[in-house]
Amino acid sequence: MTGDFTPSGFIRTGGGVTFEERSAQPSDFTAARGYSYAKTYAEQKEVFDVYYPDWQAFADCFVMRRAVIAVSGQQTCNTSSFKASDLKDYTNPGFQNVKNFRIPGSDRSSIPGGKYQLTNLSFSDAGNSMTTVSVSYQQYGEWQLIKLTAKTPSPGAGPAK
């Protein structure tokens, strides 16, 4: 479909799910996850290593992991309808709501709900009064604490009660 450029005129061209990982830190071991280390670390940073001398061996049994959803879309429009002001609308580096991308070959649209960050916008002028505009977005899931081993060493005795 061709016509004038519109933010809701993108057709889904692909996507995927990848995962990001990082080392677990004391602040990741919250009460909501069944641990008190985050609270102790926040309240008593200076003595955390004294309370938990084997912290690193314990923390190495965990990893923080989150899903990253990528979606991309494209539209072909009249070159004169894609203006500098349209380009400026895509310069927000923060999270934003994305208009649904139409599914190719149908009138339905579908991308997972939630906020996304724009990772790329590009356009190509074909020289025939038509421009192809491509966009890519990423959505970041919540970090999850993943236990890597069945048994974990004790990080230490903790503060005296």
In percent, the amount of the chain with pLDDT more than 70 equals 98
d(CA 131, CA 80): 9
**pTM for the structure as a whole:** 0.82
pLDDT at residue 95 is higher than 60: yes
User: What whole-number distance in Å separates Cα of residue 92 and Cα of residue 26?
Assistant: 33
The whole-number pLDDT of residue 103 equals 84
The 10s digit of each residue's pLDDT in 46-60 is: 999 999 999 999 999
Give the pLDDT confidence score for residue 124 in this predicted structure. Answer: 96
Contacts of 154 (CB under 8 A, 6+ apart): 54, 58
| CB contact at 8 A, 144 and 66 | yes
pLDDT at 76 over 80: yes
Residue 2 confidence class, pLDDT cut points 50, 70, 90: confident
53: DSSP letter? T
Q: Are 118 and 1 in contact (CB under 8 A)?
A: no
Higher pLDDT, 84 or 111: 84
Residue 152 contacts residue 52 (beta carbons within 8 Å): no
Phi, psi dihedrals of residue 58, rounded to the nearest 5°: -65, -50
The H-assigned helical ranges of 12-133 are 37-43, 45-51, 55-59, 84-88
Confidence of residue 1 (pLDDT cuts 50, 70, 90): low
Q: pLDDT digit string (tens) for 78-88?
A: 999 999 999 89
> What mean pLDDT comes out for the span 60-80?
96
pLDDT digit string, tens, across residues 120-156: 999 999 889 999 999 999 999 999 999 999 999 999 9
